Amino acid sequence: MKTLIEGGWVVAYNGRSHEVHERGSVVVEADKILHAGGPYAGAVDVTISARGKLVSPGFINTHVHTAGGGGDYLLLDMAKNDYRTANYMSFAAPLKGRMSPPPADAVAALRAFVFLHALKNGTTTVIDVGGLRGDWEGYARLVDDLGVRVYASPPFRDRETYMDARGRLTYEEDAAVGQARLREAVDFVRKYDGSAQGRLRGMLNAAQVETCSEPLLRAGKDAARELNVPIHTHAGGNLVEFQRIMEEYRKTPVQFLADIGFLDERTLLGHVVFTTAHGWPRYPFGDDLRVLAQSGATVGHCPYKYAKMAMTLQSFQRYLEAGVNLAIGTDTYPMDIVAELRWASILAKVTDANYQVGLPRDVFNAATLGGCKFLARTDLGRLAPGAKADLLLINLDHLGAPVYADPIKALVDGASGRDVDTVMVDGKVLVQGGRTTRVNEDEVYAKARQATEQYWSHVDGWRWDGATVDRIVPPAFPMRRPA
């Protein structure tokens, strides 16, 4: 069956770059793009009007954690001095033996919520960089049922993080546990890569650069090469990590990963904020950006997550001009990949005090083409004949239809995930009119809310200081809840 999408602003790919066709057309046949660009005169079976909408390639979200919103909520605390910008430590460094894994129904509910939330906000390819563990058969079945495109495997590390009773951070290494988790990840890839009608693909996840020993990182990279899959780790994400790597190896995290052979074109690094290019570490020796560019590794930039912790890249433009491949991710809630384009653009301008950086072209490229390089996929992130039929219809008319001349600038300047009207993955419509077509999203949200509230209710039991969520993150105004 051939489906024609016509009358909108079509972002087509000409083999070198994106180009926009006013009142353009896209033709989808099965799971592929047959035509993208100007008018189409051939016979079709179904016609969809895209008038007033941007017809865009689906966005590649390079940083999604399938763990729901519990930890993200704690990340909003603006006075977490004890973590020294160590973000994930707010919920990943409990008192030893005091945090229990969530029950299976909570894991399933949160995974479904994350996939659905990301999908509705414009993500067609989810890079799952680590979430809740267990029931991998159910995970694969969920990907198949929802119709999303996902790269994933269980994360591995051999250094667990804890707080002691005085709030001091400790790392405990167990090489055997790390190797067992790596084997679990390899087994996942071997079993599920190519499942869900080809939409679930394998990718190894070394949790964080400082929570993995050098032997484990080397073994993980060797396994990724053997399996021919990409690999990810968090690096340059916080000052605690930067200092620990400097103390252990006398190198920056980027230089350390380069020297052990971890970095190449199949490597994705989450964040990479703290480098020799950033002022906070005050380490001006060497050139991490040159190392990244020469290695071909991809940086998954998550602008909003870092902005709410008063941090950002220094800077998007500097990385771009150095030749670093930049991609975009959401990381924490909300997983609004459309809004991340604006955050990336505005933060670049503010950081550089230059309104001619963070151009709409560059942030759009990062969210589409940039996210495909480490995947080695030339059939994603673009609308071109032969590419996968992963696309979005984004409503632009209410942004000021009579006045905008460039729909990409309109998208970056004013749009959000709520403007996503239609989402198609593999030629199948998964969101239509802003509502999902395959599941009851109200039920998904209700189950995820229940799981998250249950998580919040146990926080004081594993926090070193016994603080409740309301004490960790005081509400903006007094909360009056029913008895």
> CB-based contacts of 180: which residues, under 8 Å, 6+ apart?
none
Q: 295, 263 in Cβ contact below 8 A?
A: yes
Euclidean distance between CA atoms 297 and 365, whole angstroms: 16
Query: From the centroid of its chain, how far is CA 130?
Result: 10
Domain with CATH 2.30.40.10 in the chain: 2-57+384-436
Q: What pLDDT, on the 0 to 100 scale, is given for residue 70?
A: 77
The architecture (CATH level 2) of 59-372 comes to Alpha-Beta Barrel (3.20)
- Answer whether 371's CB lies under 8 Å from 382's CB: no
* CA dist list (Å): 435 to 119, 121, 414, 423, 429: 10, 11, 21, 10, 11
**pTM score:** 0.96
Where do you find CATH 3.20.20.140 in the chain? 59-372
* Residue 201 CB contacts under 8 Å (≥ 6 apart), including other chains: 150, 151, 152, 193, 194, 229, 375
Exposed e or buried b per residue across 133-157, where buried means at least 16 C-beta atoms within 10 angstroms of its C-beta: eeebeebbebbeebbbbbbbbbbbb
Q: What contacts 129, CB < 8 A, 6 or more positions away? A: 62, 63, 64, 65, 155, 205, 232, 234, 268, 270, 300, 329
2-57+384-436 folds as Urease, subunit C; domain 1 (2.30.40)
Burial track 252-274 (b if 16+ CB lie within 10 A, e otherwise): bbbbbbbeeebbbebbbbbbbbb
How far is residue 57's CA from residue 392's CA, in Å, rounded to a whole number? 6
What is the pLDDT, as a whole number, of residue 79?
Answer: 47
From residue 382, give the alpha-carbon distance in Å to each of 47, 179, 231, 239, 305: 21, 38, 23, 36, 26
Q: With CA atoms as reference, report the closest residue to 210 among 263, 255, 154, 157.
A: 157
Tokens at residue 202, please?
């394998």
3-class state of residue 172 by DSSP: strand
Tell me how far CA of residue 299 lies from CA of 178, 238, 324, 449, in angstroms.
25, 15, 7, 32
Q: Residue-wise pLDDT tens for the chain (483 aa)?
A: 999 999 999 999 999 999 999 999 999 999 999 999 999 999 999 999 999 999 999 999 999 999 977 777 776 664 455 555 567 777 888 999 999 989 999 999 999 999 999 999 999 999 999 999 999 999 999 999 999 999 999 999 999 999 999 888 899 999 999 999 999 999 999 999 999 999 999 999 999 999 999 999 999 999 999 999 999 999 999 999 999 999 999 999 999 999 999 999 999 999 999 999 999 999 989 999 999 999 999 999 999 999 988 899 999 999 999 999 999 999 988 999 999 999 999 999 999 999 999 999 999 999 999 999 999 999 999 999 999 999 999 999 886 655 788 999 999 999 999 999 999 999 999 999 999 999 999 999 999 999 999 999 999 999 888 988 888 888 889 989 898
